Structures are given as C-alpha cells and as structure tokens.
Structure 1
Amino acid sequence: MGLPRLVCAFLLAACCCCRRATGVPGEEKQPALTPEPVEVEVGSTALLKCGPSHSAGNFTHVDWFLIHKERQIPIFRVRQGQGQSEPGEYEHRLSLQDSGATLALSQVTPHDERMFLCRSKRPRLPDHSIELQVYKAPEEPTIQANAVGIHVDRQELREVATCVGRNGYPIPQVIWYKNGRPLQEEENRVQIQSSQIVESSGLYTLKSVLNAQLVKEDKDAQFYCELSYRLPSGNRMKESKEVTVPVFYAAEKVWVEVEPEGLLKEGDHVKIRCLTDGNPQPHFTINKQNSSTGEMEEEATDENGILFLEPAQKRHSGFYQCQSLDLETMVPLSSDPQELLVNYVSDVRVDPAAPEAQEGDSLTLTCEAESNQALEFEWLRDKTGQRLGKGPVLQLNNLKREAGGRYLCMASVPNVPGLNRTQLVSVGIFGSPWMASKERKVWVQENAVLNLSCEASGHPQPTISWNVNGSATEWNPDPQTVVSTLNILVTPELLETGAECTASNSLGSNTTIIILKLEKKLPSPESKGVVIVAVIVCILVLAVLGATLYFFYKKGKLPCGRSGKQEITLPPTRKSEFVVEVKSDKLPEEMALLQGSDGDKRAPGDQGEKYIDLRQ
C-alpha cells in the first residue's frame, strides 16, 4: 500500500508542475474571438463599445488592450467608473463615454487599423474583440496624356496616359475608359500598370499607366480614369478629366479647300489652303495653272501654307492644285486640279458718254457691261435715288430743264447676290443758268464773319460772281452745277444793301438776292442770372423794410389814425420846419364815400387832404 501512495503523490506533484509551466493566471491563452468590425474615416472619432450594444449597467472595472503581434498591450483602464490612459501612443487620444461602456479614440489615422480587446470584470462579461477599419477618400485623380504623340504604324505598345490618385485608404481601384467604355487588358493591345506608394501618414498614392497600341480612328478618342473606393457610408468613385492623345498616321489623299464656300465674286476675301487625311499635316505648295502655257506655277503662301486673295479679282479665276511631301514616308502627294471661279462685272459704260439736248427734245441712253454671268440693268436718278426703269436702254422724252443732271446705270448679276457695278452719266440740257432760289433771307449779327452760299445749274456750266467784296470759293457737285461760297464781314453798309450773286453762261444769266436781317441779341445766360439775383435781392430788401415798419408800429413808434393830419415824432436831431402836404385828385363826390370805421363822414374841409407835420 505504501508504493501506490508514493506513485500517486509523485503524479499529483508532476501535474501541478505542468500546470505552473503553462503560464501564470491572466496570461493563459484566450480562446479565439470573432472580432466586431468598426468602420471610421480618417480624422474622425472611433467609438469602441465594450460588449454588445444591449449590455447594460455601469462599467466600473474594465481593461482595454491593443492586440499587436499576438500580444495584449494595455492602453486604458477603468476603476470605480474613472478612466485612465496607459502611457504610450494612445495616451492622449482616448476618453471614456457612455457610463464607461464606450472608449472614444479621436483623430483616427491609418495606423489605427488594428485589433482592440475589452475585458470587463464589473460587470463580468466575456472578452470583447474589436477590429477597427479605417477609410479615406482619395483626392480627385489627375491625368497626364502623352504629349509627344503615338504613330500608328509602329507595332508596339506606347504610353497613352498616366493617372494618379493621392492620399486614399485603403488602396483604391483604378479603371480606364476610352470614349466612355471601360478598357480591359488585352495582349499586345492594352496593358495597365499600377503601383502604389505609402506616404508617411499611412495613406496611399496610386499611380496607373495605360499602355496601348492606337489606330487611326483613335485620333479624337477621349481617355479618362476612374478611382473606386469605399467609405463607411458606402462605395464611391471619382473620375479624372478627359484627354486626347496626338495620333500620327500617313496621308493617303490631299485636296484643295476654299473659303468661303459657294459662289465667289470680285471683292470677296478668299482663303485657299490644302488638307490631307494624315496627321500631322505635311508641308504644302499651292500651284495655279497658267492660262497661256497650261503649266502649274507656284503661288506665294503665308507661313502656314495658306493662299489669301484679298480682294479676289477676275484674274484669280483658274485651276489650283495642292502638292505635299510626307516626311515620315517620303511619299509625294498631289490633289486633283480644282477650278476657282471669281464672278465679275466690269467695263460698265453708257452711250453717249456725254449726252446733251435742248429743252423739249428726246434722248436715248444705252448701258453695256461685261460679265461671265447673265446681267440685269437698272436706271436711277443719282441725287434722289429714284428708280427710272429696268433694261439696258433709258428713253427720256420732252426734256425739261429739271431733267439735267446725273443718271446712274447699275449692272448686276442676279445669280450672285451683291455682285453689281455702276456707271454715272451727266445729262446736259442747254439753257441759261437756273438758280436754286431767286431771293432768300439770312439772319446775321453785326461785325460777325458770315459765309454766304449761292447755287446755280445750267448747260454749259455757269460761273458765279458777287456784287460785294469777299473771299469766294467754288465747287461742282456735278458737271451742270456750281456752288459758290463767299466769306464776308457783316457791316452796316452790307446790312443796307444786302448781297447778290449772278450766274452766267453763254446762253444767259440769272441772279439770286440775299437779304441780310439783323438778329436780336438774346440775353446771355450770365445776364439772366444777374437779373434773377437782382430781383431776389429787391424782394429781400422789401421784406426787411416791411418787417421793420411793422416792428415800429407794434412798439408805438409809428402812430396811425383816421384824421387828416398825422404826426411822426422824430428824435431831437431829426426835427425840421418842413411841412409836406399830400393832396388827392379825387372829386368831392368820390371823397364823400370815404368814411371811418364807425360810418361817420369826414368834414368837407378834411376830405382828400392829409398833412404830415414833421416839426414835432
């Protein structure tokens, strides 16, 4: 019996030693816990709850741990409802909320994406594990297109554009688009290379490069990138701006382009340039066919290879051709000759060129012109614009003096709007001078310098003379009319005699009389102002004088009564011996009507006479 007891004692001791060897109380290995995820954005505050949300009561004894590399690092403790941070990286960012059940972590950064453990002893709860998940939206993506360009004839992948998304967490996903459609990697066609950089803040900067083999149809393609990311509120995305990439390809044909389009006419500003279906556009020369030799001759163009016709003329009509040389392939190209037609109207003439006729005669005017199009003719009177008729012939019958003057023939092309030319012709009707007016009045001011004008018409063209001396100038509105202007000083003698102008030609003479009338001078604004000021001053003086008299009257200094004689007492220094008598011119029967306020008539000797005694 002794041996079994010894064996049992030995086994019991061994078991105890094994139990101690496994660890100390509180450090035994914890069973695996399913962590509760808590999502939060960078910069905000994370709320870590010590247990399920339905847990109630005051948490008076709680320990919080950071789980790092399978180690439990204490970061916060609660005793008797009071919280205390442990020294370390979380020492200044932790605070207690909700009766000790919630630990608040402020100013969250990507480095805080860790596991946290809550162990509550009062109340006694199972250990609670929390997985903090941190999110940060990236900045707007920037995109940079290949500015050098891509040649489609080179069978290789070339960099199309680079997309960069900065300061996001976790790493966003990038998707490339061409003309609104997503691009997928395709062998020897499309390749997407993405890389990321971890900033010191823990945020990620994503860089993605799109490589592709482009074709001619991609010359106007729009490329952009999209960043997809997640926030606690859900999935989000941001797009870059759209960019195009220069795509180069050889030209296959060349042609001539003319601006403006449609029918051209003389005077238009015409631009001729060459275009190809290649990119970039090669160097061009513009040739014009010589109408005499039939050979193409080079025209002078500007630095951009454009030929300007400013303005276009009849001689610019002809065949034009473009020639180019593709420096990539060294293949010369030529366009088909293109005809340029500049429509014109020229050499408008009237027959007879200098028509003359007697009063009462008839006259026929014929208009002709040259053009590459069918013409229409119209006749107008030059001064008034009156339309006289259509057609190349104008018939004037039973001519009167008023029919003399200028006529306008307009030759136009109906098919080309705005294309017309005109020709003036002056019709002379023989007769003595005809004055614009026989007599007229002119208002003048004495000693002023005056311009007198006189107009006369006639055929042959008359001359004008004046009966007074002055400086005269003449001008001719048309071949039958003369206008004379006389510069003269207005004197009293000129005001009396007036002026006459006489128009004369080989067939007679005529006179216009100009009567000069003296203008009444109106008061100037300055004088009007002086009068107004004087009136105002007078009104003010009368007002002051009335107020003074009324003041003396109220004070008894100026006694007034109904008696025929009244005395005004003056100071001793103002007394004199003069008596002033004022008599009335009214008749006795009129004066008898004058009564006092009490209705009593005055004595006959007192009617109509008043005496003012100045001696007292």
Structure 2
Amino acid sequence: MAARDSASLLVGLLVLFHTWGVWANVEVNMEDRVEVFRGDTAQITCMFTSSDGVGGMVIQWFYVKPSGEKQKIYYQDTTMKVVDRGTQFTERMSVNGTGATGEIVLTISNVQPVDELEFICLVKGLTDGTGEGRTKLKVFETPERPTIEGVQTGISVNEDSPSKIGICEVKNGFPTPNITWYRNNTPLRADRDVVKVVPSITTESTKLVSVRSELSMKVTKEDKDNLFYCEITYFIPGGTKMTETNRINITVYYPSTAVSVWVESPKGKIKEGDSIEIRCQGNGNMPSSIFKISKKGSDLADSNVLVIDNVTRRQSGVYECTSTDTDTFDEISGNTTVFVNYLDPAVVMPKDTVVVAQGEELMATCNALSSLQTQTVWIKNGVEISVGHNLTLKDNTFETAGTYVCVVTVPEIEGMETNGTLTVYVQGPPVILEVENTEIDASYEETVNLSCHVRGFPAPSIIWTTSDGKNLETTSQMKTEEGIRSVVSVTVTTDIIAFCNASNEFGTEAVAFNITARGRGVIIAVIIICILLLAILGSVLYFLYKKGKICGRSGKQDLTKEKSSKDNIVVEMKSDNTEEAVLLGVNGEKQPPNDQSGEYLDVQK
C-alpha cells in the first residue's frame, strides 16, 4: 500500500513539471532588418526573456535559403558553443554573449550581396518553452558613375516608328539601381507609339547588378534643341541617392519650309569687276535635300553656292534658289535681287586736244554715266584745280597750256572711279624760258653744254649760231609739257658768243650766251718768253763761235792767259726782225760788224 502511494506521488510531480513547461513563456525580440555596405561587418542582435529565467537557455542561429529551407549555422547551451561547418558563414561569423544577460549578437564580416538573407534566432527554455525572432540582412553597393551615349546619325522627323535616341548604363550596384530618362527637365514615360524604353539587367557572379536602358522616340523639329539625360536612383543604408549622366543632344532632320538667298560677299554695294558669292539655305536640314541656283530659268549652280568673277551690270537681276527633297520630291524656293553698280569711262569735251589763241577763253566738260551719284575733279600736274563737271580757262596763256585730267569717282563705293584727259595748246610766238646763266667762264678746250627751253605753239624750230655767223650742231632736242628743250655742246678755244634762235609762224626770239676762255693770255706770254730765250741762246752760241771758243775755227788761243774778271760779253738784240747782233766790248763800245763774221775775236784786258 505504501509503495503504491509513493509511485502515485512521483507521477503527480512529473505531471506538475510537465504542466509548468507547457505554460513557460519565452519571448525573442529582433530588428526587422540590418543594413550594411558591401564589405562591411554586420551585427544581428537577438534579445530574449523567459518566465523560467534566462539561465540555461539553448540558443540556435539559422538562415533561410532562397528555396525557403532553414540552414543552422550555430548552436549554444550551458555546456557548449558550436559553429556549423560547411556554410557560407563558417569562416566569417562569430557569436557574442552567453545568454545569461538575455542578449546574444551574431557578427558577420566582409558582407557580400549573397549574404542578403533572413536570419533566425531560436531560444529554448528549461521547460521546453521556445521562442524565435527573425532579421533580414540588407546589403548595399554604390554603383559606378553612369554613362550615356547618343546616336551618332541624324534622325528624321518623317520616320514612322520610334527611332533610337541613346543608351544609358550603370554598372555594379546593389540592389538593382533604377534608370529614368529625361528630356530637358521632364521625365519620359513609356508610350508605345511615341516613347519606348527598353531596360536590360545583368547580374555578375558577385551578385552586383548592371542596368542598361535604351530610349527610342519619334522626334519632332523641336527636339533638335532638346537635351536628353538619365537619372540614376540607387539604395544605401537608411535611404536612397540619385545621380545624373551628362546631357546630350541629337541631330534631327526636318524638311525646309522656307529658303533664304543672300549675297555672301562682297558686303554692301556691288560694282562691276567684283567677284560675288551668292548663297542659299533652307530652314530645314534634310540630308536628302538638294539645291540649285538659277536666273531667268537658267541653272547656274547645282549647289547652294554660286560664285561669279568679274561681274558686270548684265549679271544684275533676280537669282532663285530651289530646294528639292529627294525622298518626297517636295520643292520650295526663295530669291534675292542682285544689282551691279557701274561707272562708264569718262567723256571729255572737247575731245583729246584743243588749240586756243592767247587771251581766249576755253570751256570743257567731263561726264561719266553711272548708276550712283558721282563726283568730278580736274587735276593738272598733280594739283587739283577745279571741282565739278565743267572746267573754264579764261584769258589763256602759255601757263594754262598742258594736260588736264578729270577724275570721276563714286563716293559710296571705294575704288570706283574713271578718268579722262584733255591737252590744251595755246598759240603764240616763241618765249624762251628763263636761263639760269648766260655769262659763262670756261677753261681752255673745256666742253660747255648750253640749254635753251622754248615755249610756243606751233612748236618753234631752234637753231644755234655764233657771233661770227657759224651754225652749231644741236646735241639733243626733246619735247616737254611746256615746249621744246634744245642742248648744244661747245668746246672752248677762244671767247665766243652763242645764240639760241627760236621761231614759229607767230614770231622769233633769241638768247645769247657769252663764253669767256680763261688762261689764253698766259699761254701766249709763255710762248713769247720761250722765243726770247731761244734768241738769246742762239746769239751767245754765235759769239762763242766767233771767238773760237767752239771747235771748228783755225788758229790758236792762249789758254794760259789769266782772264780778267772784268771781261764781259754783252749781246744786244735789235728791235727789228733782223738777226743782226752787236757785240759790246769791255768798255761798252760797239764792235764793228765785220768782227762778227766767221773770224775769231781776241779778247784782251
């Protein structure tokens, strides 16, 4: 009986303990998510409480595979801590805490996108009370800078379906970045008939994601000025960030609705002789458009540029430019009027030359037909003497004779001018222009050039003569604007007077040149002196001959006799032309002539 009671008590105690375990309460608290950048360390905290107390708990960590299956990675009780082998976290995880404080932390280093999983913390109490919590690990990677590439070819507005605009790409982000296309500052939404956006996603072996987006559109003319770009949205712990690509524009081909035609050069008014360049351009830019330039239906250029060299007034007129779209064969045209200004050669009246008498009045005119207002000036010898088409010369003299140039210009166009000439001759007798020097000193046998400048019309004839009536040969003669210049060369051997004689049908005039020969008298005196010396020398020799001092006479002379210092011989020359010589003795007495014959004379003291 006692044994049965003891057994009943034991069963009752077991039932009591079992009843307590069923009703034990274990609560586990965890964050919904833990967010970290790729490569960083993640810490997942598991906090728990139990009605049995927190001592002696069994703690396990699991993660949920993509298939939904749970994979245990850690076990812990009061006696052991075990990290499961062969999982993707075995080498990178650690667990801190004993559970006695009601908190345990799972740490995972070098987190990668493949680690983005759900983690479970399972806690068992002493009386089989169980609780679990779950946390999702979120991994983030900032993508590389996005790129954009627009199409290189133009897009026609006539295309029936959307045309490719460009491609945006962003690489190696996590989670998957988003790409939004913008036109100017407005986002583009997909529209089957107008806008088409085609994304493509590539997942690398590292689970990093690259996104590529292609935009196609039906373009309009306004899109030629629009800017396209992409906005990239990517995720980071605690939020999102945004970045943008560069802006691009596209070439849009659209047909012309008008054609402009203009003269590219020269700028301003055109004159004959210029080279002109005519250009035209449509307000569209279809590559299939061709141009031609024509005048009065005649094609001049199969392009949008026409060049005409050395243009004349005949090229004035309306020039038309036609643009043809070879796809649609639509034609549009425009035109411009070209006017070539002209200035005809100057016409001078009287023409070329005119002859007037001295004292008469002369009136001349100069005109040139021009498309613009002209201005006329008269010039003589480089000096402006009159302004206007008319030239009046009153009381004409030789000074008014000469060549007159009329210059006609168009003030509005630089370099547009013409000119004409009028030569005026004034009739009258010869007039010898002022001579610089008519009194000339010249050396003996020196050549002197004499110049005589004569006015007169008709042109005078010029003759050179001397005072003794001889004609001198003219060295040179030339016409000048004022008349005739004549030059003669004279070799001076004696004093001479030369005359320049000018004459025409209206009269004559002459000028005299007095030429003095320097040094002629000195030469004559030297000649006379030389003759006298020769005469004296001849007399002395004759005297010596008579005295026997010169070999050839018979007889002897005493050479030992002492000469008297007073012995002198005097030779007297008569003034007449005879060669009679009178010998004077020592005392000045004349010796007889016969003593001057072929015989020797003795000279004594």
TM-score using structure 1 length = 0.50
Match of 2:291 among 261, 268, 284: 284
- Write the deviation string for residues 382-427 of structure 1: whole angstroms up to 9, x where unpaired: 886x65554222445667759856635132054xx43622325375
CA distance in 2, matches of 1:273, 1:329: 24
Q: CA deviation at 1:274?
A: 4.2
Amino acid at match of 2:139: Q
Report matched runs for 1:253-264 at 5 Å.
254=259, 256-260=261-265, 263-264=269-270
- 1:421–1:509 Cα change, 3 Å: farther
2:307 aligns with 308
2:143 aligns with 137
Q: CA deviation at 1:288?
A: 1.3
Amino acid at match of 1:235: K
Instruction: Count the aligned residue pairs.
Output: 400
Is the 2:343–2:418 Cα contact (8 Å) retained in structure 1?
Answer: no
- Write the deviation string for residues 340-367 of structure 1: whole angstroms up to 9, x where unpaired: 2222223234444545678987654532
Match of 1:247 among 248, 253, 257: 253
| Structure 1 alignment gaps of length 5 or more | 20-28, 53-62, 76-83, 120-125, 290-295, 439-455, 463-475, 482-504, 511-616
Match of 1:342 among 337, 340, 343: 340
Match of 1:37 among 31, 34, 39: 34
1:372 aligns with 371
CA distance in 1, matches of 2:166, 2:219: 12
- 1:128–1:195 Cα change, 3 Å: closer
2:102 aligns with none
Amino acid at match of 1:259: E
- 1:96–1:308 Cα change, 3 Å: farther
Match of 1:196 among 197, 201, 209: 201
- Confirm whether residue 420 of structure 1 aligns to residue 416 of structure 2: yes
SS at match of 1:193: strand
Q: Which has the larger radius of gyration?
A: 2
TM-score using structure 2 length = 0.51
CA distance in 1, matches of 2:60, 2:164: 52
- Confirm whether residue 168 of structure 1 aligns to residue 173 of structure 2: yes
Q: CA deviation at 1:198?
A: 1.8
- 1:380–1:235 Cα change, 3 Å: farther
Amino acid at match of 1:339: T
2:468 aligns with none
SS at match of 1:218: helix
Report matched runs for 1:388-467 at 5 Å.
388-395=385-392, 404=402, 407=405, 409-412=407-410, 414=412, 417-418=413-414, 420-423=416-419, 425=421
- Write the deviation string for residues 568-606 of structure 1: whole angstroms up to 9, x where unpaired: xxxxxxxxxxxxxxxxxxxxxxxxxxxxxxxxxxxxxxx
| Structure 2 alignment gaps of length 5 or more | 47-58, 76-82, 97-104, 123-131, 438-452, 461-477, 483-501, 512-605
- Write the deviation string for residues 501-531 of structure 1: whole angstroms up to 9, x where unpaired: xxxx999999xxxxxxxxxxxxxxxxxxxxx
- Write the deviation string for residues 47-70 of structure 1: whole angstroms up to 9, x where unpaired: 545769xxxxxxxxxx99894624
CA distance in 2, matches of 1:129, 1:103: 13
Is the 1:142–1:165 Cα contact (8 Å) retained in structure 2?
Answer: no
Is the 2:271–2:340 Cα contact (8 Å) retained in structure 1?
Answer: yes
Q: CA deviation at 1:128?
A: 10
Name the % identity: 22
Amino acid at match of 1:317: S
RMSD over aligned Cα, in angstroms?
5.7
- 1:310–1:73 Cα change, 3 Å: farther
2:71 aligns with 71
CA distance in 2, matches of 1:426, 1:221: 71
CA distance in 2, matches of 1:399, 1:93: 127
- Write the deviation string for residues 533-567 of structure 1: whole angstroms up to 9, x where unpaired: xxxxxxxxxxxxxxxxxxxxxxxxxxxxxxxxxxx
Amino acid at match of 1:314: R
CA distance in 2, matches of 1:458, 1:113: 123
- 1:92–1:396 Cα change, 3 Å: farther
CA distance in 2, matches of 1:433, 1:208: 106
1:158 aligns with 163
Q: CA deviation at 1:136?
A: 1.4
CA distance in 1, matches of 2:92, 2:9: 58
SS at match of 1:166: strand
- 1:49–1:204 Cα change, 3 Å: closer
